[in-house]
Amino acid sequence: MATSSKIQLPPPAQLDAQVFLPGITQESADKTSELLQENHEKHHIFFNQSGFHNHIVHHLLTLHALRASPHSLQTAYTNNASYQRPVLPTSTSTLPSLHDPATFSSHLGSERHYATFLAFFQREIAARGWQSVLNSYVFQDDDPRADDMLVRMFAGFLHPIIHLGFGVEFAQPAVIAEALAQAAVHEVWLKPFFLEAEARAAVKQAEGEGERVPIVRLLGEIRADEKLRGAARFDDANKVRDGILARAPEAMLSLASRYHIPPTTTQEELEERNAEMVNAAAYFTTAALRRDKVAKFDFFFMHCVNLSTFFAVFLRQEWLSMRAKRRLLEWKVRLDLALYASRGAPELLAVEEVRRLAGEGGGSSWEDVCARIVEFADDGHASKFVRALMGGEGVCRKFATEGAEGEKGNEEMFPIRGDMWRVLGNMVVDSVEASGPTWVRSCGFEEAWRDVPDREEGGSKL
């Protein structure tokens, strides 16, 4: 049985994950549990002093869902465990005092306290259950500590909330404890952006200016806004913080606050909003290609897609309030918009042009795509990307079917439809397997494409 300190995946027949392939074996479930437990006990959440994340949980749970064999799981773990840092010791003197809000707050944001926060949240979950702990520490209404922790969940290019998504999806309290501890040791500089955009959106709604604007249209407005498009520079250490929020904060806040979800929104309407978010994230990530270069996807945009798959998981949690669900979705979209702006707001190709660039390489089945990606040697980013696209196909099918005559603006809200999801999954595998860098980093800047091979004249996708 899974507990706050023990990782134990359920038997394959009882697996209730959002996206998985049939045919997972008990041997693979046992191997995944064994390796995740070793990682849980031995490794820090950062593998270096620069705050680069340990992705072992993300990678192994993704491979497990994509039906990886025990051998493939072990190989992936061995490769990525080789460079992890050992976890630091728990501070037994600090641990009991973290119940005090002042002590809790004073220890936030420092990676040296990860083990202590992990032990703290393990105890809290063991005593109260993970749902109650999440509601208290992350989703509590009108609570400064919860606001602070929710901001930190979105820090570090979304890694804490991705980690949380895996924990909730696979119902693993120990992974949820890791996610809470991971969030606690991240920075909180996004707080003014999130809270100010939220406050402005509330004012607009109260004044009757709450008209719904499609996310894709907001992306187009960012690209058309010279100030936003040019706010970040390629040599900025952090292109959101030092670029967008330093040089164009008013423009970004004004645009981000135009995305909001009314308090009267129903569960079904929220699911449609979620599908729009999933579609838009996949669109701006996969359409930010260069016509003159082989297909390579942006490393930072890809995280927006990888996170998106968990929002269907969050929405189906009965213990989570409607306000918390709306807020999660609003914050996700607003940060997606800021991330798009921070990478130079690249031109987004039409979906049919992306299909054309895929050439004949988009025809393999999801089974074939998954069989290839589970053997790809990385830290899990590529396999998460493929799995998220598979999930996007399922989430959006109800709202965007090929050739459907939906409500006005349906095609704008759901540009990716039908078999395009599978075409994109094929493109991702082709791209990471091809020569040149695995990803481009900050694809709206010329410098990001310097080492990417040119596309052959009239030639194939790669």
Residue 462 lies in a domain: no
Per-residue pLDDT at 457? 56
Q: Which of 145, 167, 188 is the last residue of a domain?
A: 188
Judge if 8 and 134 occupy the same domain.
Answer: yes
| pLDDT tens per residue across span 133-151 | 999 999 999 999 999 999 9
- 177 & 262 share domain: no
> 114 and 262 share a domain?
no
The pLDDT value given to residue 66: 98
132 and 2 part of one domain: yes
pLDDT over threshold 70, residue 354: yes
Q: Are residues 105 and 13 in the same domain?
A: yes
In the listed set 131, 164, 188, which residue is the last one of a domain according to the structure?
Answer: 188
- Whether residue 455 is contained in a domain is answered as no
Residue 456 domain-assigned? no
Confidence category of residue 427, pLDDT binned at 50, 70, 90: very high
Rounded to two decimals, the pTM is 0.96
461 is a domain residue: no
Is residue 454 in a domain?
Answer: no
Per residue in 234-263, pLDDT (tens digit) is: 999 999 999 999 999 999 999 999 999 999
- Single residue among 158, 188, 218 that ends a domain in this structure: 188
Q: Are 257 and 339 in contact (CB under 8 A)?
A: no
Is residue 215 located within the same domain as residue 113? no
**Are 46 and 128 in the same domain?**
yes
Cβ contact 172:229 at 8 Å? no
Residue 445 pLDDT > 60: yes
| Residues 269-316 pLDDT 10s | 999 999 999 999 999 999 999 999 999 999 999 999 999 999 999 999
Count how many domains the chain has.
2
Q: Which of 36, 46, 55, 149 is nearest to 88 (CA)?
A: 46
Quick one: 197 and 311 in the same domain? yes
Same domain for 48 and 143?
Answer: yes
The verdict on residue 26 lying in a domain is yes
- Per-residue DSSP letter, 455: P
Of 90, 115, 119, 197, which Cα lies nearest the Cα of 154? 197
Q: Supply the range of the domain harboring residue 143.
A: 1-188
Closest CA to 292 of 352, 347, 228, 363: 347
Q: What is the mean pLDDT of the chain?
A: 95
Closest listed residue to residue 253, CA positions, set 342, 343, 149, 338: 338
Q: Are 232 and 341 in contact (CB under 8 A)?
A: yes
pLDDT at 81: 97
